[in-house]
Amino acid sequence: MKNTFYITTPIYYPSRKFTLGNCYTTVICDAVARYNKMKGKEVFFLTGTDEHGQKISNNAKAAGKSEKEYLDEIIADAKELWKLLDIDYDKFIRTTDDYHVKAIQKIFKELYDKGYIYKGAYKGLYCVPCESFWTESQLKDGCCPDCGRPVIAQEEEAYFFKLSAFTDKLLKLYKENPEFLEPQTRVNEMVNNFLKPGLSDLCVSRTSVKWGIPVDFDPAHTVYVWIDALFNYMTALGFKSDDETLLNKFWPADVHIIGKEIVRFHAIIWPALLMALDLPLPKRIFGHGWMLFGGDKLSKSKTVDSKECVDPRILAPRYSSDSVRYILLREIPFGSDGNYSTEAFLTRFNADLVNNYGNLVSRTFSMLKKYNNSIIPELGELEQIDKNLFEMVDQEIKNVDRYMENFDVSKSLISIFNIFTSANKYIEATEPFRLAKAPDKKGRLDTILRCLLEVIRKGSLLLYPYLPNCTTTVLSAFEIDPKEAKFNDLDKFSLKAGEIVHSIPMLFPRLDIQKEMEELSKLAE
Ligand code: ME8
């Protein structure tokens, strides 16, 4: 069986700095990628930027910069942001990369030679100062959504892709592969809104957009948007280059994780383009919901309520990268929309990270220090309460695995934190602090401490893909490197009696929520 796992984020538009919304998808992909590594798979995790189009060119001009200068600054900031959030990607593709540009020209030509691309005329609503075409639905009060000026009806020569030829093939694809597009609601949307009414051909070149990949056999045209953007998932692996080793190893992708607004492009245009070239299709596409900020998607062209600080560049250094990852992964039921708020972020921080996981670790390690000089004790005979704890842990490990098959990071985290809640309750129920006062109960005390240490080890390994920093710290107390850990390690009791548990710094400080909300609203201004 193929033991590789290829996962991708969308390539984001660097039309301005990335938002917490972009972080949402990227952090999910990072957690899924790390999880699959732990499962023993050879993982390739791709992210990147979608750099062509009039809008980027206009923004650069407005900033008094060349496109390249403008983009390089935003890409440098994006890479810093991914570092800040511990995003461990394998490759960052930029659609302005030379190899991508060359590959797209070859792909466009091949589609043309096969008769899937033909020349026609594009009719649209054009904003002259912005040099941009808009559709009726994109207009704001009948005017250009960027500058607010009136638009005019205009026509230009353009190439088209014969998307209309693929309606039946796509319906068959969805029917025969229920996993191809998830959640199921997205399939219904595609079928009812687009496939049943019948697909129209797609405009794939422009003469009015200069900032794009030139069609090499007709240089007045540039490749328009989706052929350029979607094929990134293959050109990043060397498709149409001299070296297709990575492509042969990792294509087809195991999953493209994307936001719901671009499902149409990934679930209709992308498979149609691949079918036209007789190429294998991605195995799965997951269209997640939106993280809403005061009811808004925080698209890059909108601003959010200034009282909410939603800049990950401020939040991560102040509260840790893990805490930002945690709110992104935990707060929204995967697949649905959900709200972000500063209050929810700070409340989860205290309730889950400080009072639950942090508290479990600090209580256990301090009892171990006090009652056994930080030495891992022997495991005595297990009582029913100990067995119940481990049965529960094993059940939650199975649940996490099942949820992660469907990329449900939020439910996985609920399961993992159930483990910590149960371990905290186990401390209350077994009262090691009372046993410590009775010398004849030392054996039992040792067993309880040992059980707690094993639960902390297992729970921290399980939590590592989601929160890599704090778990690495906790596991360092046992000299365990989670990067090397495998999922099967979770089956065992693997700590060794007699070895020392090193002391570690406090994981998360308790926050004064009111005070932090005030501070953050100042930082948002
Ligand atoms: O669409 N909640 O780029 P883009 C959840 N270049 N996810 C969000 C989000 C939010 N509030 N805001 C952004 C593009 N996202 C194209 C993609 S792919 C071949 C080309 C995430 O910069 C989500 O993944 O507009 C969404 O699909 C993506 O950012 C949109 O990024």
What domains can you pick out in the chain, each with its CATH number?
312-491 (1.10.730.10)
* pLDDT tens-digit series, residues 479-521: 999 999 999 889 888 899 999 999 999 999 999 999 999 999 8
Centre of ligand 1 to C-alpha 18, Å, is 10
Confidence of residue 305 (pLDDT cuts 50, 70, 90): low
pLDDT at 302 exceeding the cut of 70: no
* pLDDT tens-digit series, residues 89-128: 999 999 999 999 999 999 999 999 999 999 999 888 988 8
Q: Which residues contact 261 (CB under 8 A, 6 or more apart)?
A: 290
**Cα 458 to Cα 16: distance, rounded to the nearest angstrom:** 41
- CB of 230 within 6 A of ligand 1: the answer is yes
**Cα 183 to Cα 350: distance, rounded to the nearest angstrom:** 32
Nearest to 130 by CA among 156, 152, 155, 159: 152
Output the CA torsion sign for 458, 464, 470, 474: positive
Q: What distances in angstroms separate CA 231 from CA 50, 101, 277, 392, one per listed residue? A: 11, 11, 12, 45
Confidence of residue 42 (pLDDT cuts 50, 70, 90): very high
**Cα 96 to Cα 250: distance, rounded to the nearest angstrom:** 23
Q: Which residues pair with 158 in a beta bridge?
A: 120
| Minimum CA distance residue for ligand 1 atom 7 | 21
pLDDT at 306 exceeding the cut of 70: no
pLDDT computed for residue 171 by the predictor: 97
**Cα 464 to Cα 24: distance, rounded to the nearest angstrom:** 18
Residue 141, sorted as left (phi over 0), alpha (psi -120 to 50) or beta, turns out to be left
Average pLDDT, the chain: 94
- CB of 24 within 6 A of ligand 1: the answer is yes
- CB of 334 within 6 A of ligand 1: the answer is no
Rounded to 5 degrees, φ, ψ at 155 are -130, 140
Long-range pairs for 237-241: beta carbons < 8 A, 24 or more residues apart: 237/6, 237/44, 238/99, 239/103, 240/102, 240/103, 240/106, 240/107, 241/99, 241/102, 241/103
pLDDT computed for residue 189 by the predictor: 93
Contact 470, 316 (CB under 8 A): no
| Percentage of residues in the chain having pLDDT higher than 90 | 87
pLDDT computed for residue 132 by the predictor: 79
- Ligand 1, residue 260: give the atom nearest the CA: 27
Centre of ligand 1 to C-alpha 223, Å, is 21
Across the range 29-56, mean pLDDT stands at: 96
**Cα 319 to Cα 113: distance, rounded to the nearest angstrom:** 55
* pLDDT tens-digit series, residues 434-462: 999 999 999 999 999 999 999 999 999 99
pLDDT computed for residue 308 by the predictor: 80
What's the distance, Cα to Cα, between the start and end of the chain in Å? 54
Centre of ligand 1 to C-alpha 163, Å, is 23
* pLDDT tens-digit series, residues 254-268: 999 999 999 999 999
Q: Which of 18, 262, 340 has most ligand 1 atoms within 8 Å of its beta carbon, as the pocket-test mutant?
A: 262
What pTM, to 2 d.p., does this model score? 0.95
Centre of ligand 1 to C-alpha 346, Å, is 25
Centre of ligand 1 to C-alpha 261, Å, is 8
Q: Which two tokens stand for residue 419?
A: 């483990």
- CB of 264 within 6 A of ligand 1: the answer is no
- CB of 328 within 6 A of ligand 1: the answer is no
Q: Which residues pair with 124 in a beta bridge?
A: 154
Q: Which two tokens stand for residue 260?
A: 């719901």
Q: What distances in angstroms separate CA 107 from CA 114, 201, 232, 278, 363, one per listed residue? A: 11, 18, 11, 12, 60
pLDDT at 58 exceeding the cut of 70: yes
* pLDDT tens-digit series, residues 117-153: 999 998 889 888 877 788 888 899 999 988 899 999 9
Across the range 316-325, mean pLDDT stands at: 98
pLDDT computed for residue 301 by the predictor: 44
pLDDT at 525 exceeding the cut of 70: no
Across the range 42-69, mean pLDDT stands at: 95
pLDDT at 45 exceeding the cut of 50: yes
- CB of 480 within 6 A of ligand 1: the answer is no
Scanning the structure block, which residue is given the tokens 């297990």? 382
| Percentage of residues in the chain having pLDDT higher than 70 | 98
| Minimum CA distance residue for ligand 1 atom 8 | 21
- CB of 46 within 6 A of ligand 1: the answer is no
